[in-house]
Amino acid sequence: MTRFTYPMLATAFGLLLWQFLVWVTNAPHFILPDPLRVATTAISSRALIAEHALVTATEVLLGLLIGSVLGAVTAIQLAAAPRLARLVLPLLVFTQAVPVFALAPILTLWFGYGMASKIVMAVLIIYFPVTASFYDGLTRVPPALLDLASTMGARKSQVMWRIKIPHALPALASGLKLAAVYAPIGAVIGEWVGASKGLGYLMLLANGRAKIDLMFASLIALALFTVVLHKSVSLLAAKLDGPR
Amino acid sequence: MGHGVVRGVTRAPEITLTGSYGLETRPLFASTQMRLEAGQWTCLLGRSGVGKSTILRLILGLPTQGRFIGTVTADDGHPLDGRAGYMAQTDLLLPWLSVRDNVVLGARLRGERPDLDKAHAMIDRVGLGAYHDKKPAALSGGMRQRAALARTLMEDRPLVLLDEPFSALDAGTRADMQDLAAEVLRGKTVLLVTHDPAEACRLGHHIKLLSETGITSWAVPDAPPARDVDDPQTLQAQAALLAYLRGTS
């Protein structure tokens, strides 16, 4: 048994279930195409899918990078200034009550139909999980450790840099892993609302033309990209965790 | 932080704490005076929650939950800032740093260049010569406390406050650590907060008992510390102290 055995078994099970549903419902292929038809379309349209996937991947990666940096910097600022945190944290929570989906039309209006509005969507959707998880880690350093640092005459900046941030890296890693899954959602929502490129756009286009097999192929490409991204971020996060 | 002001003052000072302390809901200890003799070990015992660790925190200048009305002074008139070292019940080693980097943590936190040669010597002195580059996870509980002791020694403070640093160790390791600490902290003014009458009777030049009514002194055996674990007079003192603590708890 290798570490790939279970994921492959799960994939095979999923495909079988899909095929089974096609048989049982006897749905026409423009409603529910079978796996083989989708695979054939994916191969024949690979250049088209790759072209749009590249756009979405760029939006997601830039959004992930910008959102993570902004979130991490915010968390450090808030942890360094508890009064500011008391003021800002409730505001941050409040902003989470606004569904990002509802913001998409406004963002498209403000930032246009190009990549910018999708990157902003991805940034907005991951900013809070990254900030919240890293901030949690930064403020949960054992008090005794801070007492020790205080008796050593530590500088505040050094305590942040040498104790709080390393201590909070596993928490940041958790936030980044969540972000890797959320960022594609943000980008695709942005593409649905208004775009001329990207997997979200291609899915809408295929749907509108009753090319459901292409829509499924695009969807699977998006899912595969998200899985790879999540795995890559998890590997990076394992480095952040370090040998403890 | 004012560390620069007193860096040159390295003689072990005599420390006097005078005052009373209370939480919002109740007083913890009444008006009292406790003296830590210069260059000697003072062991502080008392039942849980009576305020032993609070006294230690007051001397260290760390925040406490209640209100202290009084003073903590040194006989040389200098402030205590930067002259007190601290060792807690847990080793407080940073898991992502090697033993060496943990030992020089103080210098790094002050933004100073660490003296790695001195750190090397301190690590050797506590018997961890083969573990300079190891992470804390690779060490046993006793070895981790040795590393914490090396970190305390590296700070080279004339006053050292120990908050039950050996209580989580097994009996054999604890006795070894007591001997080591007594040896390497010789000449410093030491306050050891402990629950263990045996530890107090082995290590204390002075034993103080803290209760709600204040601080009382307990007679120590004649032999100088660290006293042998099988010294009859030490065992006798330990038994008498235990009986007293049981009677008052």
Contacts of A142 in chain B (CB under 8 A): 92
pLDDT, residue B4, reads 40
**More confident position, B26 or A138:** A138
The CATH fold assigned to B14-248 is Rossmann fold (3.40.50)
Give the C-alpha separation, B89 to B98, whole Å: 20
Task: Flag residues of chain A having pLDDT under 50.
Answer: none
> Is residue B9 predicted with pLDDT exceeding 60?
no
The position carrying tokens 């590249």 is A54
pLDDT confidence bin for B37, thresholds 50/70/90: very high
Residue B242's Cβ-count burial label (10 Å; 0-12, 13-18, 19+) is middle
What integer pLDDT is reported at residue B5 of this predicted model?
39
Q: Which helix (H) or strand (E) holds A143?
A: helix A143-151
Cβ distance B86 to A159 less than 8 Å, yes or no, reads no
pLDDT confidence of residue B125: 86
Could you tell me if residue A97 is inside a domain?
yes
pLDDT at B1: 39
pLDDT of B211 > 90? The answer is no
For B181-193, give one letter per residue: b (16+ CB within 10 A) or e: bbebbeebbbbbb
Show which of residues 157-186 on chain A sit within 8 Å of chain B, judged by CB atoms.
157-159, 162-163, 166-167
- Reported as a pLDDT band with limits 50, 70 and 90, residue B2 is very low
Q: Domains in chain A: how many in total?
A: 1
- Are residues A153 and B1, on separate chains, in Cβ contact within 8 Å? yes
- pLDDT at position A238, please? 85
3-state percent helix, strand, coil for chain A, nearest multiple of 5: 85, 0, 15
Q: Which of B15-19, B20-24, B87-91, B161-165 has the lowest mean pLDDT?
A: B20-24
CATH number reported for the structural domain that contains residue A77 in this entry: 1.10.3720.10
Residue A129 counted as domain residue = yes
C-alpha neighbours within 13 Å on the C-beta side of residue A210 = 4
CB contact under 8 A, B81 and A153: yes
Partners of B137 on chain A (C-beta within 8 Å) are 243-244
Output Rg (C-alpha) for chain A, integer angstroms. 22
Confirm whether A183 is domain-assigned: yes
**Mean residue pLDDT across chain B:** 89
Give DSSP secondary structure letters for A72-126. HHHHHHHHH-HHHHHHHHHHHHHHHTS-HHHHHHHHHHHH-SSHHHHHHHHHHHH
Here the tokens at position A128 are 């809070």
Give phi and psi for B33, each to the nearest 5: -135, 135
In a domain, A22, yes or no: no
pLDDT in the model for residue A242: 60
Closest partner CB to A149 (pick from B57, B90, B109): B109
In single-letter form, the type of residue at position A55 comes to V
**Window from A96-100, B45-49, B84-88, B226-230 with minimum mean pLDDT:** A96-100
Token pair 């004012």 in the structure block, residue: B2
Percentages helix, strand, coil for chain B (3-state, rounded to 5) are 35, 20, 40
Cα of B228 vs its chain's centroid, Å: 20
Given a cut of 80, whether residue B8 has pLDDT beyond it is no
Domain span holding position A186: 34-241
**Exposed / middle / buried, residue A221 (Cβ in 10 Å: 0-12, 13-18, 19+):** buried
